[in-house]
Amino acid sequence: MARNVKSDTVVYQIYPRSYMDSDGDGIGDIPGIISRLDYIASLGVNTIWLSPVYASPDDDNGYDISDYKAIQPHFGTMEDFDRLIAEARARGIDIVMDLVINHTSDEHEWFRRALAGEEKYRNYYIIKEGKGGKLPNNWGNFFAECPWTKFGDSENEYYLHLFSKKQPDLNWHNPDVLAEIEDIMHFWLEKGVAGFRCDVINIIYKNSYEDGKKKLILTGSEHYLSTDGCHEILAKLRSACLEPYKAWAVGETVFVDIDQARKLTDVDRGELDMAFSFEHMEVDQVIVKWFRTKLKPKKLMRTISKWQTGLDWNAVYFENHDQPRFISRLVGARGYREEASKMMAGLVMTLRGTPFIFEGQEIGMTNFDYEDMSDVMDIESHNIYNLLSSLHLPKRLRWRMIRLTSRDNARTPMQWTDGEHAGFTEGTPWLKVNGNHKTVNVKTEERKADGVLAFWKRMIALRKTSDALKEGGFEPLYEGGRIYAYRRRCEGESLVAIFNMTAKEAKLPRALKVEGEVIASNYDTHGDALLPFEFELIREEA
């Protein structure tokens, strides 16, 4: 089997709630996205990944699906969706759907019918008896709540939910579940979607429901991370759904190591085209994601190189709807937002793999500027905050942790203009816009010949014309305290990318002498030392 994703695919992720509101209800929608397709096309990207737009009670902003074949009414109608596909295609842009199949919403018809006592649908979920007055097992939960909730009125039965209690896990031991999901995938593929981003795909198949070895987080995960059953299901979904349409799939694969990711993306096994790994997002993390320390560039470089050399093809990303803005992690309060944003464009567009750009990254959007929990909407952040309160952590510390790690950092509305609500809505936005929209916004960027947006566009365009960037191998050259360098080479072209990943000037190490022409950079002049967050792409002499 071959990989279905093409080497020139560049993906732009849209979090529909926060992108563009067309009807003034404060929530982004599909007509809003359609109205921005010319802008998206102007970036040079050729694929959009849409975070979920299916019907949902929105306990987790659409990652709790109540009908896989319907559009969330506040996002629009199925006609709007069909129009989106057609209008995007007219601009050479594919649509990739988010596929959330570890769990449904508790308001999905299957769960309702299970609750109503229909045996067939009980079997779609994981319902277990409590043990001696206790829960069925000692597992942990991704959202820091209890993963077992009483099933309906039952005395001693619980259903498993690794996320919120409104997200019951599906029972992937049941072949009917597989058949349902295949049907759903065919439905969207028939509409012309180019593939799927598969939510927490490596945890869908639970090997057993025994107690897990006690851990600080996610006790029990050894029973469901990248199990053989999961590999089997992925292979089936590929041959039954993806292959007939030559569609591709990227897996969100939590807690994977290189070996697991290699297996999940091995072309001959025919499962996923590529996987989102997390190790590079955890370089500033201490044990769990809510404890952050300063980002150490060398650790970041080493992690990037490890995955670049360890996997044949990577899903290259530094931002998405779950992660704080990477720019904020990189520069903190030190300034250099523009320089660092451009440097990140250089990094994303020159690594080997499929680049994913998250909405707003292309104009250098940063973490939210809220000062209080009342502005935060994310269920995970609220759960954590409550947990920390129950542990009597001082309010200041609690808030600091939320501020640095909340998923809402990435979910603030897209900043289109310097006007009211950043031009995102004429109503009241569901989540407050960042005050820096006065200076950081698309309209302002579009007027700048050398702005962050212009630089992203240039890097996206450059990648399209370069075989070394699209297909060439990756060779790490230097990983220092400040400077990172690697070579991308294919027959006939050799490029070296050099980065100063810090806010201080850094001397070019003697070991790193590269001869050639600078073909892209975020600074005009180049000396022996790299300026703060300087990026250079050098075409080596043949």
Please report whether residue 63 would count as binding ligand TEU according to CB under 6 A: yes
Q: Is 54 among the residues that bind ligand TEU (CB under 6 A)?
A: no
324 vs 364, beta carbon nearer ligand TEU: 324
Using CB under 6 A as the binding rule, whether residue 204 contacts ligand TEU is answered as no
Q: Please give the residues from 391 up to 450 whose contact with ligand TEU meets the rule CB under 6 A.
A: 407
Q: How far apart are CA 58 and CA 167, in angstroms?
A: 10
| Min CB(407)–ligand TEU separation in Å | 6
CB atoms within 10 A of CB 211: 14
DSSP secondary structure string for all residues of 128-155: EE-BTTB-S-----TTSS-SEEE-TT-S
* Listed residue (103, 351, 133) closest to 206, CA to CA: 103
CB of residue 201 vs ligand TEU: minimum separation in angstroms? 10
Helix (H) or strand (E) holding 354: strand 353-358
Min dist. Cβ of residue 251 to ligand TEU (A)? 11
Residues 83, 317: Cα–Cα separation, whole Å: 28
Q: Where in 100-202 does DSSP place strands (E)? A: 127-129, 148-150, 157-160, 195-198
Among 107, 101, 106, 17, smallest CA distance to 61 is for 17
145 binds ligand TEU (CB under 6 A): no
Beta bridge partners of 500: 483
Our finding on whether 50 is near ligand TEU (CB under 6 A) is no
User: Per rule CB under 6 A, is residue 200 in the interface with ligand TEU?
Assistant: yes
CA 313 – CA 333 distance, rounded (Å): 34
Give which of 270, 271, 246 is closest to 192, Cα–Cα: 246
Q: Which of 199, 284, 319, 408 is catalytic?
A: 199
441 and 423 Cβ atoms separated by less than 8 Å: yes
Q: How many other β-carbons are positioned within 10 Å of the β-carbon of residue 386? A: 14
Tell the smallest beta-carbon distance from residue 307 to ligand TEU (Å).
17
Residue nearest to ligand TEU (CB): 63
DSSP summary character for residue 532: T
Distance CA 162, CA 164 (A): 7
Site string for ligand TEU, 284-323 (x = CB under 6 A): -------------------------------------xx-
Nearer to ligand TEU, 215 or 448 (CB): 215
388 vs 469 by CB, closer to ligand TEU: 388
Q: Which of 145, 252, 359, 362 is catalytic?
A: 252
Amino acid symbol at 263: K
Smallest gap from Cβ 124 to ligand TEU, in A, equals 17
Q: Is 8 a catalytic residue?
A: no
Residues 6+ apart with CB under 8 A from 503: 331, 334, 335, 336, 532, 533
Question: Do the Cβ atoms of 119 and 70 come closer than 8 Å?
Answer: no
Question: Based on CB atoms, which residue is closest to ligand TEU, 106 or 380?
Answer: 380
Q: Does 163 bind ligand TEU (CB under 6 A)?
A: yes
65 is a site residue for ligand TEU (CB under 6 A): no
Q: How far is the CB of 346 from ligand TEU (least distance, A)?
A: 26
Q: 464-474 b/e with 16+ CB inside 10 Å = b? A: eebebbbebeb
Is 380 among the residues that bind ligand TEU (CB under 6 A)? yes
Q: How far is the CB of 199 from ligand TEU (least distance, A)?
A: 5
Q: Report 316-345 residues binding ligand TEU (CB under 6 A).
A: 321-322
Q: Name residues contacting ligand TEU, limited to 360-379 (CB under 6 A).
A: none
Interaction between residue 58 and ligand TEU (CB under 6 A): no
**What does DSSP assign to residue 489?**
E
Widest pairwise Cα distance in the chain: 75
Closer residue to ligand TEU in complex, CB, 11/497? 11
Asked if 100 interacts with ligand TEU (CB under 6 A), we say yes
Write out the two tokens for 418. Answer: 């310097």
Least distance (Å) from ligand TEU to the CB of residue 302? 22
Specify whether 87 is catalytic: no
Min dist CB 52 to ligand TEU, Å, is 9
CA-based angle 349:353:354, to the nearest 5?
Answer: 75
Residues in contact with ligand TEU, counted by CB under 6 A, come to a total of: 13
For residues 260 and 494, which CB has a smaller minimum distance to ligand TEU in the complex?
260
The set of residues, in sequence order, having a beta carbon less than 8 Å from that of 110 and lying 6+ positions away, is 104, 121, 124, 125, 180
Residue 321 C-beta: closest distance to ligand TEU, Å:
6
Residue spans of beta strands (DSSP E) within 47-106: 47-50, 54-55, 67-71, 94-99
Site map 479..508 versus ligand TEU, x via CB under 6 A: ------------------------------
Which CB, 253 or 522, lies closer to ligand TEU? Answer: 253
Interaction pattern, residues 223-252, with ligand TEU; x per rule: CB under 6 A:
-----------------------------x
Between the two ends of the chain, the Cα-to-Cα distance in Å is 35
Between 199 and 338, CB nearer to ligand TEU: 199
Interacting residues with ligand TEU between 252 and 271 (CB under 6 A)? 252, 254
Residue whose CB is less far from ligand TEU, 168 or 480: 168
Q: Which of 49, 81, 124, 142 binds ligand TEU (CB under 6 A)?
A: 142
Helix, strand, coil percent content, the chain, rounded in steps of 5: 35, 20, 45
User: 283 or 340, CB closer to ligand TEU?
Assistant: 283
Tell me the catalytic residues. Answer: 199, 252
Task: Give contact residues for ligand TEU (rule: CB under 6 A).
Answer: 60, 63, 100, 142, 163, 199-200, 252, 254, 321-322, 380, 407
